[in-house]
Amino acid sequence: MAQARNMNEATAHPLAEQNPQHEPIGSSDPDRGAHVLIQNLSKVYRVHEREAGLKASLGSLFRRKYRDVRAVNDISFEVAPGEVVGFLGPNGAGKTTTLKMLSGLLFPSSGTVRVLGHEPFKRERSYLGRMSMVMGNKGQLQWDIPAGDAFLVNKVVYKLSDEQFRTALGELTDLLDLGPLLKKQVRSLSLGERMKCELAAALLHQPQVLFLDEPTIGLDVTMQARIRSFIGEYNRRTGATVLLTSHYMADVVALCKRVIVIHQGRLLYDGALDALSGKIAPFKLLTVQLEDTVDTPAEPMDALAPYGEVQRNQDGQVVLRVPRAEAAAVTARLLANLPVADLSIEDPPIEDVIDQVFSGNALAEAHVEAAR
Amino acid sequence: MIAAFRVFFTTQWASFLAYRVMFFLYSMWAILPPLIYLAVWGTVAGGGNVAGWSRGEFVVYYLTFMVVNHLTGSIEIHTTGYEIRMGDLSPRLLLPVHPALRALASNVGFKTIGLFIVAPSVLLLAPLFKPEFNTSPGMFFLGVLAVLPAAAMQFLWGYSIALLAFWTTRADAVSQLNYTFLFLLSGEVAPIALLPEGLRTLAAALPYRYMLSFPVEVITGQLGGRQILLGFVMQGLWLGAAWLLMRFTWQRGVRHYAAVGG
Across the beta sheet with A317-323, the strand order is A309-314, A317-323, A283-290, A340-346
How far, in Å, are B45, B145, B146 from residue B139 at the CA level? 25, 10, 10
In CATH, what number is assigned to the domain containing residue A20? 3.40.50.300
Asked if residue A360 is part of any domain, the answer here is no
* ipTM, interface predicted TM-score of the complex: 0.84
Q: pLDDT class for A282, splitting at 50, 70, 90? A: confident
For residue A243, give its domain range: 7-276
Identify the helix (H) or strand (E) that includes residue A203. Answer: helix A191-203
Q: Contact A129/B14, CB-based, under 8 Å?
A: no
Residues A113, A237 within the same domain: yes
Q: What's the average model confidence in pLDDT over B12-23? A: 80
Examine the pLDDT at A363 and tell me if it is beyond 80: no
Compute the nearest-CA separation of B94 from chain A (Å). 6
In a domain, A317, yes or no: yes
Report CA Rg, chain A.
25
Q: Are residues A217 and A326 in the same domain?
A: no
Any domain includes A324 = yes
Cα–Cα distance between A208 and A19 in angstroms, integer? 10
> A136 contacts in B (CB within 8 Å)?
none
- Close Cβ partners of B206 (under 8 Å, ≥ 6 residues apart): B181, B185
d(CA B39, CA A133): 55
Check CB contact under 8 Å for B93 and A152. no
* Residue B120: burial class (beta carbons within 10 Å; 0-12, 13-18, 19+): exposed
Are A105 and B262 an interchain contact pair (Cβ–Cβ within 8 Å)?
yes
> Looking at the structure, do residues A247 and A307 belong to the same domain, yes or no?
no
Q: Smallest Cβ distance to A139: which of B91, B93, B97?
A: B91
Mean pLDDT, residues B103-114: 92
Distance of CA A358 to the CA centre of its chain: 15
Residue A122 at interface with chain B, using a CB cutoff of 8 Å: no
Contacts of B91 in chain A (CB under 8 A): 135, 138-140
- Of chain A, the percentage scoring pLDDT greater than 90 comes to 31
Residue B228 CA: distances (Å) to CA of A263, A312, B138, B198, B235: 65, 88, 12, 21, 10
Give the model confidence (pLDDT) of A111-133 as tens digits.
999 999 999 998 899 999 999 99
> Which H helix or E strand runs over B148?
helix B137-163
Bridge partners of A134, per DSSP, are A212
Q: pLDDT digit string (tens) for B7-17? A: 999 888 888 87
Task: Give pairs for A351-356: CB < 8 Å, separation 24+.
Answer: A351/A249, A352/A281, A353/A276, A353/A277, A353/A280, A353/A281, A354/A88, A354/A249, A354/A261, A356/A280, A356/A281
Shared-domain flag, residues A295 and A165 = no
* Residue A233 and residue A98 share a domain: yes
| Shared domain check, A289 and A268 | no
Report yes or no: A336 at the B interface, CB cutoff 8 Å: no
Please tell me the distance from the alpha carbon of residue A107 to that of residue A333, in angstroms, as a whole number. 57
Q: How many domains does one find in chain A? A: 2
- Do A194 and A317 sit in the same domain of this protein? no
* First-to-final CA distance of chain B: 27
Name the interface residues of B facing A (CB cutoff 8 Å).
3-4, 6-8, 10-11, 14-15, 18-19, 87-88, 90-97, 255, 258-262
Flag whether A359 is in a domain. no
Query: Which residues from chain A sit within 8 angstroms of residue B94, using beta carbons?
Result: 103-105, 128, 131-133, 140
Same domain for A251 and A300: no
Together in a domain, A341 and A224: no
Q: What mean pLDDT, rounded, does chain B reach? A: 90
CB contact under 8 A, B15 and A100: no
